[in-house]
Structure 1
């Protein structure tokens, strides 16, 4: 029996915790939310923040661990890498994980090492940020350098109330630091999905197309698989990811990708998360390919051999969909169409009738996740783009 510390215990980490237990491991969870649902399935829970590196290190020393895993959580990934490095446990280097976790460090690394990257710069000062933005011809994106879940991410154009947006974005950064990036016009869908490294090689990946919410055009609400980009583009993306991951020094474990193809078919890597994706992306991947990313995430974190993992072709059409509301209000009921019900193969909800739910402004407003299966591309896109007709929220009148 090996001892594994999982950083977090959210609803989307429950399946991982259960699987680690089913594999015969002693599982410890920690975060600062004792009522998180995952903790009731672990052998031990400790009220320690997953972003407090020193506290997690002290806890890990007491637990005599074989591995630490950050899964579907951006903020926990640097902590896991730092503590593992201190205790000589299996992990990528803290330096490599930190580069992927900080948008400013990631952009600087790409520029220094000759990778294609949008013109960008980081700021704490509004006046300096505005001066930089005014030099950009066209639109730009502003992001906190160290936030996740699309919190504080905005598209800015000339005439925008820049100072207000700057301050809001900055408020989501623990560093008090935002990055402004030149906006890239994409060709076709933005590419997303998960992958897995074994001995530095990207041995597996499953690319899909990202679809965005009507409430916020920068906030993803769905990934559909397979991607509709050509095989040539898919190969080009894979090669560019491998090249960048090798340069950074990533060696093992799960990854989450966000990639744009421009009008000239050039690849722009927007982000690489040094952990498996959230919102049930690993579960979506398993339905598409038969590859259980949770299984390999656990094995890798414990230093076990993952060399049998290999590419698998996606079968038929699948998507996930983040259930969300386009308005804030007190919920009376929900209504699912018969058409939608025919496509649902998994559903998870975290709302109750009678509660007040919030408009979808970032990932914290997620109300659930569906995994859906389709017979054809047309059916898939019809459901995704008309979900508000298939999944309806009914509210009390104000």
Structure 2
């Protein structure tokens, strides 16, 4: 009689998380999926499915015990990362310290850690989500404008506002936006960081035994017509100078060490200031969204999705060492600028010949919403270019070369 396969608890079955479920099954693990949404696609790939909230720590712990899992993975999920660390820590399974994951998962704790550990950091303060516009204006006294107001426990730039002034109308709008994405009722107010390098440095890194062994630094594409806050893709190579790249790497490793992080993939967002100093926007305690691990796997030849699964199961046999590549690869998130009905995407031949993979989330005839977060993506294009110059030239015209057709009412 054959030996029973080991089980892994997968927290989240969204369309971007299906790749992790498939990787776990490919490795021979029995997959136990939890997701509160009844229409999540992951349930059709997993061996066992529970329609339950992944933020309910005690329930996830009971399910993990009932199913006898040997590992827990919250792939590309901020809310579930805390649950993952809690359950794994309680059961003595592979995990990073829960305290470290808590710091990385809530922006006010993250900013406090940066200040206490001496990392470059803008002036900031926390305010209750119930604050009035006048309360926020008082909290901002002494800060240089513009300031940023954001929820402390959301991702993908959801609920973030940049305020050029502290007028009551602007503050009320920013408060409403931030409250809509705040689960813990705490908002962060901080000075805006000016750019020395023109784009946010993004991408993922992978840690093994406390050291970053995989450097997947890229830079973020933004749609200025949507305010320039929400990422709409990543480009590789990043475009950083050697000095800037070295400075970012030093800060990332120092932060990893200061938190006692042991292993796994982490999403990075950094602004390099006019002084060449890197300022952290975040270090996410999970793999990046918008299929960043798949993009970096294409670039490096290392299957990062598989690496995440293996690490969660205590398997460190896969070599996850990567420093640089000659590849010139970008992703572009198909997105709508207005609510309506999606009718397809028009690709100019200039850009179409560079598309080597397309992932579609929305079919023609389905409704779409104005893009203000990764959950509203229509799909993702993977593009390969001959030169960096060609990539930058074409992507600078992405809005005219890549046109999702949305029919408004």
TM-score, length-normalised on structure 1?
A: 0.96
2:361 is aligned with 1:342: no
- Cα deviation for residue 159 of structure 1 reads 4.8
Residues 395 and 363 of structure 1: CA distance in aligned 2, closer, same or farther (over 3 Å): closer
Tell me the equivalent position of 1:181: 190
RMSD value, Cα: 1.5
Instruction: Specify which of 126, 132, 146 is matched with residue 139 of structure 1.
Output: 146
CA pair 332-294 structure 1, distance change in 2 beyond 3 A: closer
Q: How far does residue 215 in structure 1 lie from its aligned partner after superposition?
A: 1.1
C-alpha change, 1:379 and 1:186, in structure 2 (3 Å) is same
Within the candidate set 88, 93, 107, 1:89 is matched to: 93
Matched, 1:78 2:82: yes
* Conservation of the 8 A alpha-carbon contact between 2:336 and 2:406: no
More displaced, 167-176 or 183-192? 167-176
Of residues 207, 224, 230 in structure 1, which corresponds to 2:217?
Answer: 207
- Residue range with higher mean Cα deviation, 350-359 or 294-303: 350-359
Within-5 A mapping of 1:246-265: 246-265=257-276
- 2:181 pairs with 172, 175, 179, which one? 172
- Counterpart of 1:354 in 2: which secondary structure? coil
**Alignment partner of 1:229: what SS?**
coil
Query: How far off is 1:397 after superposition?
Result: 5.8
**SS of 1:78's equivalent?**
helix
1:105: how far off? 0.2
Q: CA deviation at 1:306?
A: 4.4
1:352-384 deviation per Cα after TM superposition (whole angstroms, max 9, x unaligned): 222232111222221111111000122212332
Counterpart position of 2:205: 195
Structure 1 residue runs of 4 or more that deviate by more than 4 Å after TM superposition: none
Return the alpha-carbon distance in structure 2 between the equivalents of residues 382 and 176 of structure 1: 42
Task: Give the corresponding residue for 2:114.
Answer: 110
The yes-or-no answer on 1:361 pairing with 2:372 is: yes
Partner SS for 1:131? helix
1:112-131 correspondence runs (5 A): 112-124=116-128, 125-126=131-132, 127-131=134-138
User: Shift in Å at residue 307 of structure 1?
Assistant: 6.8
Cα deviation for residue 233 of structure 1 reads 1.5
Residue of structure 1 equivalent to 2:155:
148
Displacement after TM superposition at 1:198 (Å): 0.8
Query: 1:175/1:232 Cα in 2 relative to 1: closer, same or farther (>3 Å)?
Result: same
Residues 395/219 of structure 1: CA separation in 2 closer, same or farther (3 Å cut) = closer
Asked if the contact 1:206/1:314 (under 8 Å) is kept, the reply is no
8 A contact 1:192–1:257 mirrored in 2:
yes
Answer yes or no: is 1:225 the counterpart of 2:229.
no
User: Displacement of 1:216 after TM fit?
Assistant: 2.3
Secondary structure of the structure 2 residue equivalent to 1:107: helix
User: Quick one: distance in 2 between partners of 1:264 and 1:85?
Assistant: 40
Distance 1:14 1:265 in 2: 39
For the residues of structure 2 that align with 1:202 and 1:332, how far apart are their CA atoms?
43
Deviation per CA, 1:13-40, whole angstroms, max 9, x where unpaired? Answer: 1121111111111111111013211211
- 1:141 aligns to what SS in structure 2? strand
User: How far 1:140 moved relative to its partner?
Assistant: 1.0
1:277 aligns with 2:288: yes
**1:203-257 CA-partner distances (Å, limit 9, x unpaired):** 1121111111121211111110011111222122111111111111111111010
Following superposition, the deviation at residue 78 of structure 1 comes to 0.5
Distance 1:242 1:253 in 2: 13
Q: 2:317 and 2:283 mapped to 1: Cα distance?
A: 21
5+ residue gaps, structure 2, are none
Aligned equivalents of 1:395 and 1:252: distance in 2? 42
- Conservation of the 8 A alpha-carbon contact between 1:82 and 1:94: yes
Q: Following superposition of structure 1 onto structure 2, how do residues 381-396 of structure 1 map, counting pairs within 5 Å? A: 381-396=392-407
Task: Describe the shift of the 1:395–1:242 C-alpha distance in structure 2 as closer, same or farther (beyond 3 A).
Answer: closer
Bigger mean CA deviation after superposition, 174-183 or 122-131? 122-131
The aligned residue for residue 41 of structure 1 is 45
- The unaligned stretches of length 5 or more in structure 1 are none
What is the alpha-carbon distance in structure 1 between the residues aligned to residue 243 and residue 404 of structure 2? 41
Q: Is the 8 A contact 1:340 1:383 kept in 2?
A: yes
Offset of residue 135 of structure 1 = 2.5
Q: Is the 8 A contact 2:307 2:318 kept in 1?
A: no
Cα gap change, 1:240/1:369 in structure 2, threshold over 3 Å: closer, same or farther? same
